[in-house]
Amino acid sequence: MATVIQGIAVGFGLLGLTISAAWRAEAHDIGWAAVGQFAPNQQRSEVSPLARTQEPTVPNRQKTGTGFFVDDKGHMLTARHAAEDCSRLIVFKEGRALAAQVVALSPSTDIALIKVTKTLGLAAVFPSTVGVSTNDMVFASAYDKLATNRGMFANATVAGSPGSQSGALQIDTDVTFGASGAPVLDSRGLVQGIISRRTGSSRVVAVGAGDAKSFLASKGVRVAEDDRSQIVATTSRASRAASISARVTCLQN
């Protein structure tokens, strides 16, 4: 498979991908989730791609990830590999579909800034000073999974943090395809990271909040920062994630 992400360490991707093509996709550095049946003679890559492939005759591919709003002007963050090399980019939320434009791709981290005409729901709040530590419980989920996960308090554990908001955040979680670009929320509902890729059966790497804020600032996007909780007593981290997130679909020729 042609390399989808350049400059990113080899690992499992967390994109959902529908493939319709006259060729068989192979997955090495990213997992391709395709609609269809397992090809009986499909080769297994050295690292399991967690992929399914079908082989009709008309070339057409669709990647699905997650993004979240970072201001009230329609700006969103998602994973870079979820938004690059797209012929069209569409954001879906609660029955609405909006065409999105790629504003910028980070040259050093797996994040992308995209924009739609208006913010759907709420904008994320980033921590002002307080980060997360090893063994802290956090929450992350693909947008399409949030409808069934609204009651979840936390579903991930911080396995390793950089000691500050910058740098890669490692978490142990069961998130799967479609979670690329999803926000990682701490107990206060603040964004501590953005899901990037899977590096093991349950280990996922996220871009840290500090790197995300620096990238957004370099593009002139101002975000809300606070160390106070954004979750009221009657809601959960999953509900907070649903309020700021949306599905991001990349259509490829």
User: Under a CB-based contact definition with an 8 Å cutoff, are residues 169 and 192 in contact?
Assistant: yes
User: Under a CB-based contact definition with an 8 Å cutoff, are residues 1 and 27 in contact?
Assistant: yes
CA gap 80, 204 in Å, rounded: 16
Q: For residue 90, how many other CB atoms are within 10 A of its CB?
A: 18
pLDDT at 235: 81
Average pLDDT over residues 185-189: 95
Task: With cut-offs at 50, 70 and 90, classify the pLDDT of residue 55.
Answer: very low
- Which residue would you say has higher pLDDT here, 46 or 117? 117
Residue 164: left (phi > 0), alpha (psi -120 to 50), or beta?
beta
Task: With cut-offs at 50, 70 and 90, classify the pLDDT of residue 161.
Answer: confident
* Average confidence score pLDDT of the chain: 81
In this prediction the pTM is 0.80
Structure tokens at 120: 């759907």
Alpha helices in 48-138 (DSSP H): 80-83
CA gap 1, 136 in Å, rounded: 37
In tens, the pLDDT along 200-211 reads 888 999 999 999
Beta-carbon contacts of 97 under 8 Å, excluding residues fewer than 6 positions away, are 90, 91
